[in-house]
């Protein structure tokens, strides 16, 4: 996913963020390994650009190495403080299936679902705006 040229972009090591016309926070993930430090920086950036208000996030995911346990725990604890809901768009059908199975076995702290296309992700996410 290429970020639009007509929107204000916000960059972190892990993602490029922007708001769409509906007020959904969009994110194009980058591939560096997620560490506690760069994950914290990314969450801090989102808090600044949303003025500490919870946002609905539509993220285009990319393949990256699995974060360590401490980073995963931080994300799990921080998600409900930053986001209302998260829709993830994956180009890989297998990735979509795996993520949805993981969510069923270990439910996330916020409404979260993986999709293969943006239109379906948007439709689902709009209920949380």
Please write the tens of the pLDDT for every residue from 48-76. Answer: 999 999 999 999 988 777 788 899 889 88
2 domain-assigned:
no
Q: How far is CA 115 from CA 1, 88, 91, in A?
A: 14, 6, 9
Q: What pTM value is reported for the model?
A: 0.89
Q: Confirm whether 60 is domain-assigned.
A: yes
Please report the beta strands in the chain, taking only residues with DSSP state E, as ranges in sequence order: 10-11, 15-19, 25-29, 55-60, 83-89, 112-115
**CATH number, domain at 19?**
3.30.750.24
SS3 75: helix
Of 12-16, 18-22, 98-102, least confident by mean pLDDT is 98-102
What does the chain come to in residues?
A: 129
Q: Would you say residue 3 lies in a domain?
A: no
Q: Do the Cβ atoms of 55 and 84 come closer than 8 Å? A: yes
What residues make up the domain containing 123? 10-128
Average pLDDT of the chain is 89
């Amino acid at each position: 996913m290429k970020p639009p040229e007509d929107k204000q972009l916000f960059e972190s090591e892990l993602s490029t963020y922007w708001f769409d016309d509906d007020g959904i926070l969009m994110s194009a993930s980058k591939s560096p390994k997620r560490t506690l430090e760069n994950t914290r920086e990314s969450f801090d950036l989102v808090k600044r650009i949303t003025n500490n208000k919870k946002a609905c996030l539509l993220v285009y995911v990319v393949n990256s190495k699995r974060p360590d346990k401490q980073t995963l725990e931080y994300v799990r604890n921080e998600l409900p403080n930053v986001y209302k809901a998260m829709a993830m768009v994956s180009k890989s059908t297998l990735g979509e299936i795996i993520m949805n199975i993981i969510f069923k076995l270990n439910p996330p702290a916020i409404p979260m679902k993986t999709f293969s296309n943006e239109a379906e992700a948007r439709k689902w996410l709009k209920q949380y705006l």
